[in-house]
Structure 1
Amino acid sequence: MKTRKRILLATVVIALVTNAGGVYSSDVQRQAQIAGRSADVMPFSLKATTHYFTRTKDGGVQRVIVKDASDAQQIALVREHLRAIQQQFRNGDFSGPTHIHGQAMPGLAELKAAKPGQIEIEYKDVHAGAELIYRSADKMLVNALHEWFDAQLSDHGPNAKAGHEHHHNARDMTMQ
């Protein structure tokens, strides 16, 4: 009986390890695909930046920071891109995220369906990058923003991090 339990336990462990490897492989594969498509939309180097996604009670903050703060070219490209994204999103154009992440990206359908003015999008320069601050009074849109942020965190892998609302204080929100 002990031998049967050991064999069963070994089988379960092997199955779990094999499945974990399969999940990891698909995540890595998807992240590589996302990185490839990102180059079609983002003019800056994904690997030279870190994307921070911070949920807030009325929306969220998307911040892109250049890892080398002395790289003026990358910083300029990040700022140019986020300004363009602000205008596109205000006009209901979410073609960039759709191209990068696909039509089924969580939260994207709801964001695309928002009426003008339902989501406020504010642009700010920050040290070594820029950020977009999203706000909405509509709880469905706030939830969609949170889902959208979570999907980006997963898809961008090591180039994205979850931010924390308390880290976005007045000093952080201004260009340094």
Structure 2
Amino acid sequence: MDAKLIALATLLNVAPAIAQDTGHATGHAQHLGAEVMPFDLARIVHIFTPLKDGGTQDVVSRDGDPTQVTLIRAHLNKEAAAFAQGDYSDPSAIHGQAMPGLAELRAGDGRMHVAFEQLPGGARLRFKASDPALVAALHDWSEAQVRDHGADAVMHHP
């Protein structure tokens, strides 16, 4: 098993412990998330990893259910296309228009490369930019999502 898969498996194993410490997603974010995301938030984990040139957002099924994995992949594939065009309407519907980093990401249309990739049990969005301010906005945006999603999300620092 490669190092990335070992790290991902480790994160999935610690997510239940994190859930005990932080509780579930805030009621507001969880409710709105269910309206935007087609998968069961209680059965997945969002893993955000900040990188020097951007970052990743992994969404992985906690139980490997094939239906959840299919829903995750379809949703993230759709989001990759939207984000690449500066369309962050789904996250703003969940987290609000004033979400940290959101305005900068929208304005970064064309300067942020967003790629979709399948993972075992889910999918990944890879964000990449050469503008340090845009990378910082992505990091702020990721941290805001982790705060709002509670136990449904973790920040991974490599």
Q: State the TM-score, normalized to the length of structure 2.
A: 0.83
- Secondary structure at the aligned position of 1:164 is classed as coil
User: Which runs of at least 4 in structure 1 moved beyond 3 Å after TM superposition?
Assistant: 27-30
Distance 1:30 1:80 in 2: 22
Partner of 1:130: 123
- After superposition, where does 1:143-162 map in structure 2 within 5 Å? 143-162=136-155
Partner of 2:37: 42
Distance 1:48 1:81 in 2: 15
Percent identical among aligned pairs is: 42
Q: For residue 29 of structure 1, report the CA deviation from its aligned partner.
A: 9.7
Residue-by-residue CA offset, 1:79-101 (whole Å, 9 max, x unaligned): 00000000111122111011000
Matched, 1:86 2:47: no
Unaligned runs of 5+ in 1: 1-26, 166-176
- After superposition, where does 1:7-156 map in structure 2 within 5 Å? 31-69=26-64, 71-116=65-110, 118-156=111-149
Please report the RMSD computed on the Cα atoms of aligned residues, expressed in angstroms.
Answer: 1.5
Residue-by-residue CA offset, 1:103-161 (whole Å, 9 max, x unaligned): 00000000011132x00111110010000010000011000000001000100001111
Unaligned runs of 5+ in 2: 1-21
Q: For residue 164 of structure 1, report the CA deviation from its aligned partner.
A: 3.1
* Alignment size in residue pairs: 137
Distance 1:161 1:44 in 2: 17
- Structure showing greater radius of gyration is 1
- Secondary structure at the aligned position of 1:47 is classed as helix
Q: State the TM-score, normalized to the length of structure 1.
A: 0.75
Residue pair 2:104, 2:134 contacting (<8 A) in 1 also: yes
Residue pair 2:24, 2:150 contacting (<8 A) in 1 also: no
